[in-house]
Amino acid sequence: MGNKNKTISFRVSQEKFETLRDIAEERDISLSAVFRDYVDMLVAHDGQVEVVPEHELKGSSESDEMSQSFPPKVKVPKSFVREHERLELEAEHLREQLEEHKRYVTKLRQELDEHDQEDVVDLDELDGDKGEEESPYRIGNEFEDSL
């Protein structure tokens, strides 16, 4: 199943619609992009998004601004970052090896296709060329036949 975009529709008052349109113009994006951004933010924070007017944010203390700033900031241990970087490098190395393997397999297949017609001998065709005059081959010891 692929990702399919869904459409959500709802009604707002004319005043709120114009306010939303002004926000979109200020941000130089489409009105639908405003809603997509909001929905993405809402989903990313598991519905824990609070809409606060800007003038209330500016009046708060510096520590409150840090806790309410968006995008939220999270401290990550250096060991986690290093492990992530190591895994990215390993993944890139594995991708390179996979590409090299694919090129090698392709090269072998091309060589096989080039030499395929020259190297294959059909035994039935060889038997048919000699005619019926000759006796068929027997597997076994010639000494046993003469006794």
pLDDT of the residue at 141: 61
Strand, coil or helix: 53: coil
State the pLDDT confidence band at 9, using cuts at 50, 70 and 90. Answer: confident
Whole-prediction pTM: 0.32
Run of H or E residues at 127: helix 123-130
Q: What is the identity of the amino acid at 111?
A: E
Report pLDDT digits (tens) over 86-113. Answer: 999 999 999 999 999 999 999 999 888 8
Contact call for residues 56 and 63 (beta carbons, < 8 A): no
| Preceding amide of 71 cis, omega within 30 | yes
Closest by CA position to 34, among listed 44, 45, 47, 20? 20
pLDDT of the residue at 4: 77
Q: CA torsion 76→82→83→84, rounded to 10°?
A: 70
Q: What is the CA radius of gyration of the chain?
A: 37
pLDDT of the residue at 128: 62
pLDDT of the residue at 8: 78
pLDDT of the residue at 99: 95
* Average pLDDT value over all residues in the chain: 77
